[in-house]
């Protein structure tokens, strides 16, 4: 059983984040996820090859090199094929996603939940705002018509800022961990220590605040916080090894550096909260991951989880798209 130490708790309370080293067992948790995604990649490659978007299936390449090659050659970022969530817009009946058993087991890992329990209690709900991030090297990454990297550095934001206002009433905890080592060269996270003690800051949608140019793939929800609203100079990178876990609050200001390496940066971005509180995206399916009060409510079947996401996709594909963004860009901070 993993245990949260007093020093770790105090660091979290003071700075808004804490890194716990070697929490996740690679053989038990991370490597099965990597193996599972090999099959997802096979399916994507088959689709692209059959549609003439790539000239080879590149079967001799390892996962990271293969992903990089097909993204570069096809001129598209295909992260939605791997993601265990749905996009925030344009959801169709065939929108791809991946909710496999290895991913499900990682979200429900008992040692991870032990640590989470130390922050939010024993009634733990898996919030559906969750993602896998595969960032290929920027030199190989597809670019938009203006030459901007489509899925590169992640701008400054708070996780509360990319959900609806309901999340302000929720004790949401972000859990971030790499599937391969994350460092300053390949795009690890940056944190602004102590930024969680303030309010939810204005997030400006849809354009680069420095150049004023429209950007279609800016980052989480296409949002970023203007640097004049916080002390960006106080930020610090948080390099992590495979197996390490980073936990931070919904108001901790953070971003991700660009991937300037020759390897992919691959990570899970999960969120948890006490059972019964709003998720900030309630149209998407969360589930009870742990409950001492009602053990029978815990979801243990990955097939059920997969079907819940299929049902959500079917519903959203046949109804008016839900509005996830609370920001309109009209705040004076966005001027």
- Where are the domains positioned within the chain? 6-148+175-180+243-248+259-334
Closest by alpha carbon to 24, among 298, 272, 268? 268
Q: What is the pTM of this model?
A: 0.94
- The token duo for 302 is 């990955």
**pLDDT value, residue 238:** 98
Produce one character per residue of 235-252: b if its CB has 16 or more CB atoms within 10 Å, e if not: bebbebebbbbbbbbbbb
CA dist., res. 132 & res. 117, Å (int): 23
What 33-40 contacts at long range (C-beta under 8 Å, 24+ apart), as own/partner pairs, is: 33/102, 33/103, 33/106, 33/179, 33/268, 34/63, 34/179, 35/102, 36/100, 36/101, 36/102, 36/103, 37/63, 37/82, 37/98, 38/63, 40/81, 40/82, 40/98, 40/100
**pLDDT value, residue 206:** 67
The strand pairing partners of 176, in sequence order, are: 246, 269
Spell out the per-residue pLDDT of the chain, length 335, in tens. Answer: 888 999 999 999 999 999 999 999 999 999 999 999 999 999 999 999 999 999 999 999 999 999 999 999 999 999 999 999 999 888 999 999 999 999 999 999 999 999 999 999 999 999 999 999 999 999 999 888 878 888 888 999 999 998 999 999 999 999 999 999 999 999 999 999 999 999 999 999 865 444 545 444 444 557 899 999 999 999 999 999 999 999 999 999 999 999 999 999 999 999 999 999 999 999 999 999 999 999 999 999 999 999 999 999 999 999 887 777 788 888 898 87
First-to-last C-alpha distance (Å) of the chain: 50
**pLDDT value, residue 218:** 44
Asked whether 292 and 185 are in contact (CB, 8 A), the reply is no
CA dist., res. 252 & res. 254, Å (int): 6
**pLDDT value, residue 76:** 94
**pLDDT value, residue 210:** 45
CA dist., res. 131 & res. 125, Å (int): 16
4 φ, ψ (degrees, to nearest 5): -80, 125
Asked whether 91 and 316 are in contact (CB, 8 A), the reply is yes
């Amino acid at each position: 059983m993993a245990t949260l130490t007093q020093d770790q708790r105090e660091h979290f309370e003071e700075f808004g984040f804490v890194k716990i080293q070697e929490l996740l067992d690679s053989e038990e948790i991370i490597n099965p996820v990597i193996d599972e995604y090999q099959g997802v990649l096979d399916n994507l490659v088959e689709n692209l090859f059959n549609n003439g978007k790539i000239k080879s299936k590149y079967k001799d390449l390892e996962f990271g090199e293969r992903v990089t090659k097909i993204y570069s050659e096809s001129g598209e970022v295909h992260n939605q094929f791997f993601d265990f969530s749905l996009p925030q817009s344009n959801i169709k009946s065939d929108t791809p996603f991946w909710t496999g058993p290895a991913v499900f087991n990682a979200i429900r890992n008992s040692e991870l939940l032990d640590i989470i329990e130390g922050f939010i209690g024993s009634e733990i709900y898996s919030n559906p705002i969750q993602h896998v991030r595969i960032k290929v090297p920027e030199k190989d990454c597809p670019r938009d018509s203006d030459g901007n990297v489509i899925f590169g550095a992640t701008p400054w934001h708070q996780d509360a800022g990319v959900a609806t206002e309901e999340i302000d009433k929720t004790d949401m905890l972000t859990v971030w961990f790499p599937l391969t080592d994350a460092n300053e060269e390949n795009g690890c996270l940056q944190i602004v220590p102590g930024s969680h003690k303030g309010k939810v800051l204005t997030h400006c949608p849809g354009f680069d605040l420095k150049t004023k140019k429209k950007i279609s793939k800016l980052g989480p929800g296409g949002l970023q916080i203007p640097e004049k609203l916080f002390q960006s100079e106080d930020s610090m990178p948080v390099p992590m090894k495979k197996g390490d876990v980073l936990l931070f609050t919904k108001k901790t200001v953070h971003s991700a550096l660009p991937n300037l390496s020759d390897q992919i940066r691959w990570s899970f971005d999960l969120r948890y909260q006490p059972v019964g509180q709003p998720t900030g995206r309630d149209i998407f399916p969360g589930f009870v991951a742990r409950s001492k009060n009602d053990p029978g409510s815990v979801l243990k079947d990955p097939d059920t989880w997969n079907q819940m996401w299929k049902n959500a996709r079917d519903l959203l594909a046949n109804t008016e798209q839900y509005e996830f963004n609370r920001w309109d860009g009209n705040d004076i901070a966005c001027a």
